[in-house]
Every structure is written in structure tokens, then in C-alpha cells.
Amino acid sequence: MQLLVVIVNYRTADLTIDCLKSLEDEINSISGAEVSVVENASGDNSYDVLSSAIVDNDWGRWVKLHHPQNNLGFAGGNNFAIRPALESDSPPDYVLLLNPDTKILPGAITTLLEFMEQNPDVGIAGSRLQYPDGTSQVSAFRFPSILGEFESMARTGPITKLLKRWKTAPPCKNMSHSTDWVAGASMIVRTAVFENIGLLDEMYFMYYEEVDFCFRAKNRNWKVFYYPDSKVIHYIGQASGVTGSQKKIKPMPTYWFESRRRYFVKNNGIYYYVFTNIFWILGYSISKMRNIFNNRDYNYPPNFFFDFCKNSLMKIKINND
């Protein structure tokens, strides 16, 4: 098997089915490609709906449906399919992590595989994620840092210009380039990377797991690339229900703060994390004062500052195992 595509479904059966439909032509054009759908204990009728769709569309040759008993989160859900594939007698050469709220455009996967074949020193590569109208989404990022957190919260032109080297989400480029990490919504990983650094860290329930994975890979001298010739529509936030074009912005879930805390403490240390939070609050304060002065909405999730203080300032211990 050359390629394993893993899709983790959690109460998104209709989106997953649409994603599989967009995958069909690409998968059929790739020798030895297979898709594993992990129905991540949604607690609804997702498993039955997905099972019926696989039968009705005659997808059984290239789609396997997995059904863990508990919700394993994003990292655990992906590992549920990746682990046995790597331990099999014929492991894949590549694994593509793919969100259910995506639509594969023609050539998106074949071009990504060609890029990986031509660049053996690249361990991870990400697609160009875009909105349905073709507008690009930021898909290549710098690793989180103290100054990056400050800039992202301050949201002011002079500060952004001064700290552009540390901006976590820099402007999109139309050419392939090396980057720190790529979005896990469409991220291909060379099997040798898993063999070198292990699977996704399951201590992250959701969010920051791909950041951590890319960080570990780059520490082992693997290159991470953004490859915009691979184009994927991403209906952003539909899978998580946290971000995206929703009528009402929801509060950030506790696990987002827990994942953020784990990333900084695990990879930078507890003191770095403390100073990062101080600069986060400083940046937030600047943004809030600017909004008050300009009579604008804050544009933050409900109770964001209170939830940040509760989950980031009052909980600084973490299990680094």
C-alpha cells in the first residue's frame, strides 16, 4: 500500500461522506491507496450512516470503517488507524491526515505524492487549504512563541510590523516553501517520520497535536513544507464546531487551553509558558483598549479572557510523559 488516508469522524457523517465522494477519483488513480474512516464514538447514528454509504456507493474496496469504543480525540483517533497500518506486513509509504470537513480538488493528492517522491528529505507536507470561493486559508505557520502570542493578541499594525518575524500565521505564499508546521486538515506524513519520532501525542485531545508533531519531526531534521499545488477546500470549523463562519461564536473549549498549555510546557518549559501568558495578557489588554477607543466589537469568543485566566493562569502543572 502506497498511501493511507485517515479521516476521523465525530458527528460529521454527512461531511465525511461528501469528503469520500471527492476522494474517489483520486484514490482510484493511485496504485495501492486506501482510506480508513475512524468513527470516533460519536454517540449518534454516524456509524450506521457511514456503513450504509460505503455499501451503497460500492466503496468497500478502498474504504475501511473503524469504530473505537470511546472518543479518542483527534490524535488518538488518527493513531487508531495509523498504528495497525504501520505494524502490518505491508505498511504504507505515506499517511495523509484529512479532516472530514474537506473536499479534495482534482490532483490534490497525486501532486502531493509526487512532491514527496521528488523530495525525500521532506517528512511532512501540507496542502493549500481554501474556502469554497477559492480564497486561500492560512495553512503554513511558525511555531508558537512568546512574541508570536503577544502579536496575535495585540492585533495592531505597528506591533505586527515590528514582530512580523514572529507572527504565528504569516501571509499565504503561492509557492512551495519550508515552514515550521502545517495544518492537520490535509497533512501528508512520510512513514519514516512515524518510525523515527513515534505517533501523534495522544495527551492532546484536540488542537496543537500537529504543531507538536511537526516540532518533534523538525528536531529530528525532517523538513516540513507547504505545497500549494495540492488544493483542498476546507469548510473551516465544521468538524470541530469551534471556529468558522457560525452565526454565534462559541466559547473556547477547555481542551483548547489544555492543549496549548501542554505544548508550551512540554516543548519550552514551565517558565517559558508563564512568560508567554504574561505577554498574552499584555497583548489582549492592548487590543481591548484599542477596541474601546475605536468603539469596535472585541471579536473574541464569549468569556475568552476569563476562560484563559481560569485554564491557563491557575493550571500550570502538566504531565510531561
Bridge partners for 82 per DSSP: none
**Which pLDDT band, with edges at 50, 70 and 90, does 320 fall under?**
very low
The residue type of 73 is: G
User: Domain 3-137+173-234, what architecture?
Assistant: Alpha-Beta Complex (3.90)
pLDDT of residue 321 exceeding 50, the answer is: no
Q: Residue 233: is its pLDDT beyond 70?
A: yes
Residues pairing with 103 in the sheet: 233
What percentage of the chain reaches a pLDDT higher than 90?
85
> Taking residues 56-80, what's their average pLDDT?
97
Cell 466503496, residue?
Answer: 59
- What single-letter DSSP state applies at residue 312? I
Q: Cβ(112)–Cβ(123) under 8 Å? A: no
44, pLDDT greater than 50? yes
Percent of the residues in the chain that have a pLDDT greater than 70, as a whole number: 93
pLDDT (mean) for 99-107: 97
Q: What is the mean pLDDT of the chain?
A: 93
What's the average model confidence in pLDDT over 83-98? 97
12-21, pLDDT tens digit by residue?
Answer: 999 999 999 9
pLDDT for 238: 63
248-276: burial string, b at 16+ Cβ within 10 Å, e else: eeeebbebbbbbbbbbbbbbbeeeebeeb
pLDDT digits (tens, 9 = 90+) for 252-304: 999 999 999 999 999 999 999 999 999 999 999 999 888 878 777 667 889 99
Task: Tell whether the model's pLDDT for residue 245 goes beyond 90.
Answer: no
| Domain positions in the chain | 3-137+173-234, 254-313
pLDDT at 318 over 50: no
| pLDDT, position 156 | 87
Q: Is the pLDDT of residue 99 over 80?
A: yes
Structural contact between residues 81 and 36, judged by C-beta atoms closer than 8 angstroms: yes
**Residues 209-228: pLDDT tens digits?**
999 999 999 999 999 999 99
pLDDT at 1 (0 to 100): 64
CB 77, CB 8: distance < 8 Å: yes
Segment 60-67 long-range contacts (CB within 8 Å, at least 24 positions apart): 62/27, 62/28, 62/33, 62/34, 62/35, 63/20, 63/34, 63/35, 63/36, 63/37, 64/34, 64/35, 64/36, 64/37, 65/37, 65/39, 66/36, 66/37, 66/38, 66/39, 67/38, 67/39, 67/41
User: Angle, nearest 10°, between helix axes 209-219 and 254-268?
Assistant: 10
- In the predicted structure, residue 246 carries a pLDDT above the cut 50: no
**Span 139-172, pLDDT tens digits:** 999 999 999 999 999 988 899 999 999 999 999 8
Position with higher pLDDT, 135 vs 294? 135
Q: What is the mean pLDDT of residues 178-183?
A: 98
Chain centroid offset of residue 52 CA: 28
Of the candidates 286, 148, 165, 253, the one whose C-alpha atom is nearest the C-alpha of residue 211 is 148
Give me the pLDDT at residue 248, please: 66
